[in-house]
Amino acid sequence: MILDHIQMRRESKSFTDAAYAILTAAGRFDGPKFMLSGLSGMAFKFAAHRRLLPHSVTAYGQWGTEHSPGIDNLGHYTVYDAGRSRHSSFGSYQQDAVNWVRQSIDSGIGAVYWIPEFGVIQGYDDEAEIFYLQNGSSTGTQVLLYDNFGINFTSFWYCRIFGDQVSIPLTDAVLESLRLALYDWETPYKTLPDQEIASGRQAYRYVINALEQNDYHAEGAGYLLASYLYSRIEIRDYLQEVQWRLPGLDEVLLLYGELTDLTGPEIQAVLPALSKGQKLPESRQASLGNVLRQAEALEDRAMLLIRLISGRYPDRKRSLVPRWGAHTAR
């Protein structure tokens, strides 16, 4: 059973690329990728390791709690499971996940899977006991044994499937995406107690400090900066599309337009060297750091406007406590 109509392309964050491939192929999302990236809040996520290691780009927090609000904002019913393959219960979860992924594919919908990075399970063969995967970067498919499901060099495993969809008014979804963005910006550490990885505003500080101290992983810095620039272009394009939905969004759009115009040439100029593992000359590091300081200030201004926009509307999701309490054991 292979879903040939799923075609994943690596362009955005890998989770976004995988979800977009699955949902568009299933007829569950109609629009450009930047709209899914914006509405889900994924475009706004920005994380950086102190030394700008390559895993910075996907280390934006606990994946279950990071992805679920965005998928909810798209109106999709979704099921996921994840954990560490070293746990003694992993074998049971693994067998269960193999079964519900097969059922999802039988219904015509692929699954997001941590390969790593995130990819798509698009088919299976019960006789050979294998899944077929796409990583979005290379052509063709990879093969994964059922017995190896969830096993990889990172020790983390993750899989998510999608079900039915409800309609959410676009204005409501846009407002929620802004609130998700604001949360990401104002939460400095999402993997506590570890503080080696910072998020949002604090991620800027980590990148600038690494450049100033000349203590960074060159290829990781290149990947992080390329992802950063692409995501900020996504935000700009998303806001261009939805600015008329909420008063004040046009001002936020202007700031992100200024940000992409500022950072684009500088980042594009350094990517060739960084992608080859070459550190930048001291003068170029200083120039890039200065540009990122200006970008941080622009994004901070944008978030202040977003806070003002958000404050004009009730936020029942965050202001009402369920009758069973906020910390019920489960």
Contacts of residue 150, defined as CB under 8 A and 6 or more positions apart, other chains included, come to 85, 90, 93, 94, 97, 157, 159
pLDDT 10s digits, 148-179: 999 999 989 999 999 999 999 999 999 999 99
pLDDT at residue 88, as a whole number: 80
Looking at the domain assignment, is residue 287 inside a domain? yes
Residue 325: inside a domain? no
202 and 138 in one domain? no
The verdict on 1 and 119 lying in the same domain is yes
- Which residues are within 8 A (CB) of 197 and not within 5 positions of it... i.e. 6 or more apart? 47, 48, 49, 50, 56, 59, 189, 190, 191, 206
Q: What is the DSSP string of 267-329?
A: HHHHHHHHHTTPPPPHHHHHHHHHHHHHHHHHHHHHHHHHHHHHHTS--HHHH---TT-SS--
Confidence of residue 277 (pLDDT cuts 50, 70, 90): very high
Contact between residue 279 and residue 216 where contact means Cβ atoms under 8 Å apart: yes
Based on the domain organization, do 107 and 216 belong to the same domain? no
**Higher-scoring residue by pLDDT: 18, 89:** 18
123 and 183 assigned to the same domain = no
Residues 177 and 84 in one domain: no
Assign 325 a pLDDT band (cuts: 50, 70, 90).
Answer: low
pLDDT digits (tens, 9 = 90+) for 98-126: 999 999 999 999 999 999 999 999 999 99
How many angstroms separate the CA atoms of 207 and 267, rounded? 13
| One domain, residues 38 and 24 | no
pLDDT for residue 116: 93
Q: Are residues 215 and 236 in the same domain?
A: yes
| Residue 121's CATH number | 3.90.70.10
pTM (2 d.p.):
0.93
Q: Are residues 239 and 283 in the same domain?
A: yes
Q: What pLDDT does 272 receive?
A: 96
Look at residue 320 in the predicted model and tell me its pLDDT: 67
Phi/psi for 116 (5° steps) reads -90, 165
Tell me if the bond preceding 188 is cis, omega within 30° of 0.
no
Q: Residue 328 domain-assigned?
A: no
Parent domain of 254: 34-62+169-318
Q: Which of 135, 150, 165 is the last residue of a domain?
A: 165
Cα separation, 90 vs 234, whole angstroms: 37
Looking up tokens 């941080």 gives 296
Is the domain of 150 the same as that of 281? no
CA-to-CA distance for 45 and 203, rounded, in angstroms?
A: 10
Residue 282 lies in a domain: yes
Domain ends where: 150, 165, 180? 165
101 with 189, same domain?
Answer: no
Of 267, 269, 240, 255, the closest CA to residue 304 belongs to: 255
What is the pLDDT, as a whole number, of residue 330? Answer: 46
Contact of 91 with 56, CB cutoff 8 Å: no
* 3-state SS class at 121: strand
Residues 86 and 114 in one domain: yes
| Domain assignment of residue 96, yes or no | yes
Does residue 52 lie in a domain region? yes
Token duo for residue 75: 């109106």
Q: Is residue 288 situated within a structural domain?
A: yes
Number of structural domains (the chain) is: 2
Residue 161 domain-assigned (yes or no): yes
On whether both 161 and 52 belong to a single domain, the answer is no
Write out pLDDT tens, residues 53-90: 999 999 999 998 999 999 999 999 999 999 888 888 88
Please identify, among 145, 165, 185, the residue that sits at the C-terminal boundary of a domain: 165
